Amino acid sequence: MNLAIIALGLGLAFYIAWSIGSNDAANPTNTAVGSGALTLNKALLLFAFFSFIGALLQGWMVIKTFGKGIAEIPTIYDAVIASASTAFWITLSSYKGMPISTSQSSVGAVLGIGLFHSYVVATHNTINWGVLLKVFLSWIISPAGALILAAFFYYSFTRLSAGLTKRGWNATRIFRWILIATLAGSAYAFGSNDVGNATGVYVTVISSAGNEVEFNYVTALGLAALGAAGIMLGGFTFGRRVIKTIAFGLTKLDYITGSAAGAANALTVWLFTTVPAILFGFGMPISTTHASVSAILGVGLVRHGRHGVDWRLFGKILVTWLATVPAAATLTLLGRALLYFLTGI
């Protein structure tokens, strides 16, 4: 196998991992930071540790093919341009402090490749619109589910706090540990699952170049470690920008609202991953960012009312969410079309 192609695949996988960490590190950490349970640096250290453990222990089990099912990626040029477009849009959003769905970025970029082959060069229709529809539906259902669960957990935790206090227990200390536990669990799940989005880029690049990817435990573990390192680095760099936006900007969090939002986020992701897998044989893809932000929005509404939410900030976040798929698709389509018209490839 060409060493240059291997290096290219590993380099793109690391860049994707870094960009994912720069944006999605906020999802497990924002409630603990926003409520004051942990400082930003301590939350990032816990995120780094547990996401790395998750990636090493289970990340090798879920290495995914980049854009699998959305559209065909026939050449290495398609794979490289789609990967670079995905990472660039995530990087730009993280720099602006805007939380987005990294999976939406991936879907948009691969959709751009499908649009190029289907309508620009009109070789054949490679877009699986049925899969795309299911993905879009999951992005609508999961935020609503997280918001409702957040409200349920808030009312439940409020009663639990009152009961603990009545019995003479330190409810504040207990809920601080609940917050830390939800951070650790969410970070572990994030590392075990989302590292596959990064390492899957390597698989796609190598495969699209006409090479067969041979997997063994050592190779898969090495890719998981590479992805985990990139995610950790992303969290400690641009990740701070996104964390501050959600932890402090959207609504005021305390230990109870933070615990409720963290639990709702974790349960939403777990339910959408597990229940469809039991019923239909496959988990439903959702955005952990959408679930996390919606859970915080939910506790903000039930705790403070509509005036306790920064709707201007939420509007900016919503616009960024809506722009992600078309923006990533446009970047990929323009890049691929430019290469075609300049070189004929």
Distance CA 83, CA 147 (A): 32
Task: Give per-residue pLDDT as tens, 280-297.
Answer: 665 566 778 888 999 999
Task: Give per-residue pLDDT as tens, 226-240.
Answer: 888 898 899 999 999
The residue extents of the domains of the chain are: 3-333
Whether residue 121 has pLDDT greater than 60 = yes
Distance CA 336, CA 83 (A): 12
Percent of the chain having pLDDT more than 70? 92
Distance CA 156, CA 172 (A): 15
Inter-CA distances, 296 with 77, 144, 171, 237, 257, Å: 40, 12, 21, 23, 8
Whether residue 107 has pLDDT greater than 80 = yes
Task: Give per-residue pLDDT as tens, 131-143.
Answer: 777 777 777 888 8
Weakest-pLDDT range from 2-16, 77-91, 199-213: 199-213
How much is the pLDDT for 284?
63
Task: Give per-residue pLDDT as tens, 241-273.
Answer: 999 999 898 899 999 999 999 999 888 877 876
